[in-house]
């Protein structure tokens, strides 16, 4: 029989939905000892929290996250709130001895993240950050191919994350759905939102970044603020580009923006190695492009791998070859791995410390963009 693991989720927005789905679904497809129980959802707006609880089958509702953390019947706190609240909640939850799953990015800054790391490490509570794209099967397969040494020496790593949803200058900033445009709540713009994903994957696949040079841009300088009702200066970066050098000697080329017309969520990365190259694209997330120079010359070409076979990562748990999965499955996989980690004692990654390393790169990017100089990345 499975053991219940009582989850208390803070926040009912997009990520509250994605995580709740993962908890509700994971045991249907993965054979695990633990079974998440949707014990409580917490949000300041009681009515909306109630509605969310009804939809997802949460057993109870809280409107103060401190109360949730105090509850004895909660094993795990899931933080799905804006970035500027992560640290306070996480540190309190750690002190209360709760396991913690925190939305990305971990924190507003590196130093803040370090406090969080220290809190969970001191409390010895299981912890993880929702960099979900590691668990898209095609991305996990990329990791596997790299770990097998198939690529040889790496020369290039390039990634971009392109969106187009903030081009309209009439779009306001701040408040419920638009806190990501408010520097006070989000910390930064695309750097913390989109580049954070690119960097998490990159550090995982290609190791540390040693130094970077970055630039950022805010195309729309002023927007009405939902919280004040006034037109205010926009504090976030609309676009960010950086180049750099990885510790393994390869060159980095990264870009993210919310002003790339035609791209909704085009996260792509490409790695060029001595022997082989890999390319992936979130818009067709179930495919991996793979080029192996060791193939015979006349039939050498980029292979479009439909990552849906039972020997592909995670896919044996779903349907049959040729039938693709989607976005939310990456969250299901992350919960499955987290629960498996509890069973085996080998924690699923990225934990807070791992995610803190990404935070240090984000800090370097923002510093370089401001100083217009190359910046050495601190290794966490």
Q: At what angle do helices 329-344 and 137-147 cross, to 10 degrees?
A: 50
Stretch in the footprint of its own copies (CB under 8 A) among 70-78, 80-88, 253-261, 340-348: 253-261
Angle (nearest 5°) at CA 314 between 310 and 315 = 35
User: Is 227 among the residues that bind its own copies (CB under 8 A)?
Assistant: no
Q: Which of 171, 184, 227, 266 binds its own copies (CB under 8 A)?
A: 266
Beta carbon of residue 375, minimum distance to its own copies (angstroms, whole number): 11
Q: Which of 3, 303, 376, 379 binds its own copies (CB under 8 A)?
A: 303
Q: Which of 222, 320, 346, 376 binds its own copies (CB under 8 A)?
A: 320
User: Is 273 among the residues that bind its own copies (CB under 8 A)?
Assistant: yes
User: Is 88 among the residues that bind its own copies (CB under 8 A)?
Assistant: no
User: Is 372 among the residues that bind its own copies (CB under 8 A)?
Assistant: yes
Beta carbon of residue 97, minimum distance to its own copies (angstroms, whole number): 30
User: Is 245 among the residues that bind its own copies (CB under 8 A)?
Assistant: yes
Task: Please check whether residue 223 is in contact with residue 169, taking contact to mean a CB–CB distance below 8 angstroms.
Answer: yes
Cα separation, 331 vs 136, in Å, equals: 9
User: Is 184 among the residues that bind its own copies (CB under 8 A)?
Assistant: no
Beta carbon of residue 221, minimum distance to its own copies (angstroms, whole number): 11
DSSP 4-53: EEEEEEE--SHHHHHHHHHHHHHHHHS--SEEEEEEEEE-S-HHHHHHHH
Q: To the nearest 10°, report the CA torsion of 6, 7, 8, 14.
A: -160
Q: Which of 130, 246, 280, 290 binds its own copies (CB under 8 A)?
A: 290
Contact set for its own copies, span 327-356 (CB under 8 A): 327-329
Cα separation, 275 vs 273, in Å, equals: 5
User: Is 248 among the residues that bind its own copies (CB under 8 A)?
Assistant: no
Task: Please check whether residue 152 is in contact with residue 274, taking contact to mean a CB–CB distance below 8 angstroms.
Answer: yes
Nearer to its own copies, 144 or 228 (CB): 144
Contact set for its own copies, span 93-152 (CB under 8 A): 141, 144-145
Of the candidates 78, 79, 67, 80, the one whose C-alpha atom is nearest the C-alpha of residue 13 is 80
């Amino acid at each position: 029989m499975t053991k219940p693991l009582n989850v208390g989720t803070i926040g009912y927005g997009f990520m509250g939905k994605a995580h709740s789905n993962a908890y509700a679904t994971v045991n249907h497809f993965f054979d695990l000892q633990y079974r998440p129980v949707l014990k409580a959802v917490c949000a300041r707006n009681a009515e909306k929290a109630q509605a969310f609880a009804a939809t997802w089958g949460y057993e109870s509702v809280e409107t103060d996250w401190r109360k949730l953390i105090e509850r004895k019947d909660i094993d795990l706190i899931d933080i799905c709130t804006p970035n500027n609240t992560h640290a306070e909640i996480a540190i309190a939850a750690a002190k209360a001895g709760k396991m913690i799953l925190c939305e990305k990015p971990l924190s507003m800054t590196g130093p803040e993240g370090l406090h969080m790391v220290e809190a969970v490490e001191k409390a010895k509570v299981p912890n993880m950050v929702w960099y979900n794209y590691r668990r898209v099967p095609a991305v996990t397969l990329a990791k596997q191919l790299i770990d097998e040494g198939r690529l040889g020496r790496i020369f290039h790593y390039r990634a971009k994350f392109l969106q187009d949803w903030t081009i309209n200058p009439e779009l306001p900033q701040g408040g419920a759905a638009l806190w990501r445009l408010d520097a006070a709540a989000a910390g930064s713009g695309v750097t913390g939102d989109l580049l954070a994903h690119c960097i998490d994957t990159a550090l995982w696949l290609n190791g540390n970044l040693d130094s970077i040079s970055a630039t950022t841009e805010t195309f729309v300088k002023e927007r009405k603020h939902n919280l004040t009702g006034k037109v205010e200066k926009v504090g976030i970066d609309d676009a960010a580009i950086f180049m750099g050098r990885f510790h393994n000697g390869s060159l980095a080329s990264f870009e993210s923006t919310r002003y790339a017309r035609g791209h909704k969520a085009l996260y792509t990365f490409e790695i060029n190695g001595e022997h082989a190259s890999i390319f992936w694209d979130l818009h067709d997330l179930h495919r991996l492009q793979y080029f192996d120079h060791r193939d015979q010359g006349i039939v050498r070409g980029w292979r479009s791998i439909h990552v849906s076979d039972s020997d592909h990562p995670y896919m044996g748990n779903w349907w049959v070859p040729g039938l693709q999965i989607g976005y939310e499955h990456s969250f299901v996989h992350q919960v499955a791995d987290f629960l498996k980690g509890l069973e085996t004692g080998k924690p699923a990654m990225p934990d807070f410390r791992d995610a803190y390393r990404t935070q240090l790169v984000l800090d370097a990017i923002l510093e370089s963009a401001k100083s217009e100089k190359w910046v050495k990345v601190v290794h966490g």
